[in-house]
Amino acid sequence: DAKTTQPTSMDCAEGRAANLPCNHSTISGNEYVYWYRQIHSQGPQYIIHGLKNNETNEMASLIITEDRKSSTLILPHATLRDTAVYYCIVRATDSWGKLQFGAGTQVVVTP
Amino acid sequence: SQTIHQWPATLVQPVGSPLSLECTVEGTSNPNLYWYRQAAGRGLQLLFYSVGIGQISSEVPQNLSASRPQDRQFILSSKKLLLSDSGFYLCALDFDEKLFFGSGTQLSVL
């Protein structure tokens, strides 16, 4: 699976949009980009995933560059409950559950 | 919708003691099931996965074993715990191209 690179941490003001970048320059054509988040002492929670088109759901938006070498997760209106570690993962389609979690980005939303 | 039950939430065990963590799922049949571990300050690591009853694949060599005696039951075991087995253990299932996690067991080996 392709490796991903994320910033170690970032802060965001409550009510503002949070833009979380992820680089995956070695991504293959059949690999999806997934985002999960983990609130302290809880299991990770699925946020969103995409292959090449931009995606949006009730939690976030995913913007994937045309060359697919990077992506951005957008939390449109961050709340204090969005404070968590956010993981960007790329994964092929042969086994959805065998994910390689890196260190992720620690996002702290401040009042 | 699918539900994952894990217990206990926390566990403190002495070195050399046995371990049995149970995970049961509801709301889906013949799921692919996974055990992940997260050591303190580290990322999640896949330990085992199972595509059906009696079918177990190990991702890393370790002091642990897994079993799947029933379709919706996944068990993580050890005969003798080591200090390095401490961590946050998570059971998960994959459904609709997504991975869903249980609430986890925080294991401290002393």
- DSSP codes joined into one string, B55-98: EEEESS--S-EEEEEETTEEEEEESS--GGG-EEEEEEEEETTE
pLDDT score for A3:
87
CB-facing half-sphere around the CA of A106: CA atoms within 13 A: 7
Q: Does the beta carbon of B48 lie under 8 angstroms from any beta carbon of chain A? A: no
The mean pLDDT value for A80-103 works out to 87
> Rounded to a whole number, what is the distance in angstroms from the first to the last CA of chain B?
38
Q: Does the beta carbon of A36 lie under 8 angstroms from any beta carbon of chain B? A: yes
What is the C-alpha to C-alpha distance for residues A41 and A47, in angstroms, rounded to an integer? 18
Burial class (CB in 10 A: 0-12, 13-18, 19+), B100: buried
Higher pLDDT, B88 or B41: B88
The amino acid present at A9, given as its one-letter code, is S
- The model's pLDDT over A45-87, given as tens digits with 9 standing for 90+, comes to 999 999 998 999 999 999 999 999 999 999 999 999 999 999 9
Whether residue A96 is predicted with pLDDT greater than 80 in this model: the reply is no
What is the C-alpha to C-alpha distance for residues B56 and B41, in angstroms, rounded to an integer? 28
The confidence band for A39, taking pLDDT boundaries of 50, 70 and 90, is very high
What is the C-alpha to C-alpha distance for residues A37 and B95, in angstroms, rounded to an integer? 17
Whether residue A33 is predicted with pLDDT greater than 90 in this model: the reply is yes
- The model's pLDDT over B21-62, given as tens digits with 9 standing for 90+, comes to 999 999 988 899 999 999 988 889 999 999 999 999 998 878
> In A9-35, which positions are buried (b, 16+ CB within 10 angstroms) versus exposed (e)?
ebebeeeeebebebbbeebeeebbbbb
pLDDT score for B82:
96
Q: Does the beta carbon of A29 lie under 8 angstroms from any beta carbon of chain B? A: no
Q: What's the mean per-residue pLDDT of chain B?
A: 93
Q: Does the beta carbon of B103 lie under 8 angstroms from any beta carbon of chain A? A: yes
| CA proximity to B19, closest of B11, B9, B27 | B11
Higher pLDDT, B43 or A34: A34
DSSP B16: T
Q: In chain B, which residues have their Cβ closer than 8 Å to the Cβ of A36?
A: 99
The confidence band for A95, taking pLDDT boundaries of 50, 70 and 90, is low
Closest Cβ–Cβ partner in B43, B46, B97 for A102: B43
